[in-house]
A and B are shown apart, each in its own frame.
Chain A
Amino acid sequence: MKTKARYKLTVICALVMATSGLMMAQDAPKLTDPEIASVAVVANQIDIDYGKVAIKRSKNKEVTDFANRMIEDHSAVIDQAVALVTKLGVTPKDNAVSQSLMSQSKETLKKLNSVSKKDFDKTYIDNEVAYHEAVIGAVKNVLIPQAQNSELKDLLEAVLPALEAHLGHAKMAQSKISK
């Protein structure tokens, strides 16, 4: 019970941080396309990193299948993003949003690596649900509206349904695990 409450608190904190990060991003000078590209690559890479921990630590096929899917799909997005920036001749540019995503993910990775085997599956899947919700919000409300280049906008719009499918899939796994 105690760990559950603590976990809930952490997730809420992370969400508040993510949202405030996004609010700042909305108030701050708009993200440029190279910055949006950087956020997109970082956000996808983070979920790949979580998936790799899951494959290493989980014994549950439901969980490892999901983690493999995350690695495959988010790698495909990165490939598309890299191909696009190469074609457009832009270099992804590090920025406040990608940095904040990075530092949050370091905390989460620490937790995923240290949580007991018994609690791993639930910790991982709960985080996947929260993370996809946060990223969907960011793509929908910040990245797509701010993207200038139409091909970059198209790519972000193609990513959104995948994130939503992943969220639905994560919620299915979540309900099976908590039973």
Chain B
Amino acid sequence: MQTHKSLVSKYLFIVAVLICAFVLMMGFKSSEDTYKPTRHTVTIFKMKFNPEHLVVNKGDTVVWINKDFYQHDVTEMTSKKWTSKPFNQGESWSKVITGDIKYYCDLHKVMKGTITVAK
């Protein structure tokens, strides 16, 4: 009697461990392996970046599309660390986002925007 009971509980314990392991693996899979970076679009139109403020995940790509008949650029604002160089109507420029960004158009210095990485 005693041995039969302990066998059942041993069996149940193993099943529980297997389920736990399975759930954990699924969890890791969805959070690490299956996250696909997304592409976001910022439209440049009528002298504005739209959306002006954008929140993305680390590793996402942002594409800026110029819909104005004026040239624009996308330039890092604090120290001009990087720039797209001027691009024309119908052209676009993209960047993989690894951290928060403040940018502006160096041609039209009043045009500004931000990219924030979601925490």
Contacts and interface: CB of A to CB of B under 8 A. Distances in A.
Given A161-B47, A161-B48, A169 B108 contact: yes
A158 B108 contact: no
B82 interface: no
For the residues of A in contact with B, the DSSP-based class is: helix
Nearest to A77: B69
B47 A169 contact: no
A172 interface: yes
Contacts, number: 34
A23 interface: no
Interface residues of B, number: 12
Interface in A130-168: 158, 161-162, 164-166, 168
Given A161-B46, A161-B48, A73 B70 contact: yes
Interface in A78-101: 79-80
A10 B110 CA distance: 28
B108 A69 contact: yes
B66 to A, nearest CB: 12
A77 B68 CA distance: 11
B107 interface: yes
Interface of B: 46-48, 68-71, 107-111
17 contacts: A69-B108, A76-B69, A76-B70, A77-B69, A80-B69, A158-B68, A161-B47, A161-B48, A162-B68, A162-B70, A164-B47, A165-B47, A165-B108, A165-B110, A169-B109, A169-B110, A172-B110
